Amino acid sequence: MDSVSVNKFLDNLKYFVEQIVTDHVPLKVTGRTGENLVVLSADDWERDQETLYILQNKGLMAQIATSLETHTKQTGYQPTKDEMNEITGI
């Protein structure tokens, strides 16, 4: 993660905001008093929040583990031809 001083960040705010949103890479901003902050796009923040929610939800993690296991063994649900046509026709 790149790091810039708060002064440089403020002087180049538009540039840094565009870069953060476009590249999806957070930026560490170092404060004068040693306190730091991280700037990231709203989309990236929401993605991270969703990931944290899933990782903290034991039920969802169990479903994912079961799905991975059945997928690996190729014993999971097999959609019918009509169901596949409906899925791929969207």
Residue 27 in domain:
yes
Place 89 in a pLDDT band, splitting at 50, 70 and 90. Answer: confident
Residue 82 in domain:
no
pTM of the model: 0.69
Q: Which of 20, 21, 18 is nearest to 1 (CA)?
A: 20
pLDDT at 63 over 90: yes
Residue 12 in domain:
yes
Place 19 in a pLDDT band, splitting at 50, 70 and 90. Answer: very high
Q: Which of 48, 37, 41 is nearest to 19 (CA)?
A: 41
Instruction: Please count the structural domains in the chain.
Output: 2
Question: Both 7 and 34 in a single domain?
Answer: yes
Place 34 in a pLDDT band, splitting at 50, 70 and 90. Answer: confident
- In terms of residue numbers, what domain contains 53? 44-77
